[in-house]
């Protein structure tokens, strides 16, 4: 009896290698799809979760990023207003914020904090933690009590609707998640969220600006019974836009981060504004026209 090895089947190594590469490519695509889906899910979760973070967390993150002392980081190097007057200005702005907060029924756990910024920049900004900064340049342009309160109410509207939190949802959610596991780093938070200058230049969405304008209109009606101050404010912006076109000068930071003033003017209710008598600014917040103009 003879024994012999069975014949070996011929193997096409090139075809096998090609099949393996195809299988690897399919697995790679599947893994990439899973990772992408997870990233999208986490992104949506961050957008959903950020506005629902307790306001106390927002305050703590603002403290860790230096936003509770934002006035020091925004002021001009050459101050034109002495310390006593700045203190009086801040106190008056705080009094007005508290009054407006009651008028719009701001939740009691959200406590706004006023800051006066001695800078020629014509702007007012609301940042994380309920901080509202009003620049000297803006106060020098305003003439009426109702105008100033409309500006402050607009900024409180951003705080009430948590617009800044929504805008920075991804970074805030990451910072909050790290805080839950014991990682609390001011440097890391600033990297995730941004510094004072970046936040002050952040433009809100059109919907957010409309919501803030609606809050300003609501506050005007409850405080004064009309929206004359808000309309006067938008008319001031509109006249400036018509006069200077796209070259706004010191107004750039305010006008370039907000919708066109004519559009905003059309959107607010004309409740008693035609017959409203506006009250000239007085006291600490009356800075008068810029002497350099």
111-126: per-residue pLDDT in tens?
A: 999 999 998 888 898 8
pLDDT for 276 beyond 70: yes
Q: Which has more pLDDT, 220 or 75?
A: 220
Share of the chain above pLDDT 90, in %: 31
Give the confidence band of 261 by pLDDT, cuts at 50, 70, 90.
low
| φ/ψ (deg, to 5) at 134 | -115, 125
Segment 181-193 mean pLDDT:
55
Interval 134-156 mean pLDDT: 94
Mean pLDDT score, 257-267 = 64
- Mean residue pLDDT of the chain comes to 76
pLDDT in the model for residue 166 = 72
Question: What mean pLDDT is predicted for residues 131-141?
Answer: 92
Give the mean model confidence (pLDDT) for residues 60-85.
73
Specify the CATH number of the domain 55-285. 3.30.2010.10
Contacts of 285 (CB under 8 A, 6+ apart): 89, 92, 93, 139, 148
- How much is the pTM? 0.72
Q: How confident is the model at residue 171 (pLDDT cuts 50, 70, 90)?
A: low
What are the backbone dihedrals phi and psi of residue 124, each rounded to the nearest 5 degrees, phi first?
Answer: -145, 140
Nearest to 194 by CA among 167, 216, 214, 212: 167
Cβ pair 115, 71 in contact under 8 A: yes
Q: Where along the chain do its domains lie?
A: 14-52, 55-285
Average pLDDT of the segment spanning 123-152: 92
């Amino acid at each position: 009896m003879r024994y012999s090895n069975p014949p070996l089947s011929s193997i096409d190594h090139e075809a096998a290698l090609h099949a393996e590469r195809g299988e690897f490519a399919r697995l790679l695509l599947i893994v990439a799809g899973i990772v992408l889906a997870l990233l999208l899910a986490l992104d949506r979760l961050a957008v959903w979760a950020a506005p629902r973070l307790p306001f106390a967390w927002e305050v703590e993150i603002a403290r860790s990023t230096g936003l509770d002392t934002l006035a020091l980081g925004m002021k001009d190097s050459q101050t034109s207003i002495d310390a006593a007057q700045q203190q009086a200005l801040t106190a008056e702005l705080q009094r007005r914020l508290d009054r407006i907060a009651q008028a719009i029924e701001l939740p009691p756990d959200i406590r706004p904090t006023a800051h006066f910024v001695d800078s020629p920049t014509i702007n007012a900004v609301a940042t994380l933690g309920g901080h509202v900064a009003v620049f000297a340049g803006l106060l020098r342009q305003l003439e009426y009590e109702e105008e100033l309160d409309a500006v402050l109410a607009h900024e409180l509207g951003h705080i009430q609707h948590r617009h800044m939190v929504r805008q920075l949802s991804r970074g805030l959610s990451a910072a909050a998640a790290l805080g839950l596991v014991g990682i609390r780093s001011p440097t890391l938070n600033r990297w995730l969220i941004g510094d004072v200058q970046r936040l002050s230049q952040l433009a809100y969405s059109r919907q957010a600006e409309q919501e803030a304008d609606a809050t300003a209109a609501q506050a005007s009606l409850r405080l004064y019974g009309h929206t004359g101050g808000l309309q006067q404010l938008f008319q001031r912006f509109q006249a400036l836009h018509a006069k200077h076109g796209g070259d706004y000068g010191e107004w750039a930071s305010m006008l370039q981060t907000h919708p066109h003033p004519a559009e905003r003017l059309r959107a607010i209710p004309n409740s008693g504004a035609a017959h409203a008598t506006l009250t000239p600014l007085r006291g600490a917040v009356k800075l008068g026209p810029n002497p350099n103009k």
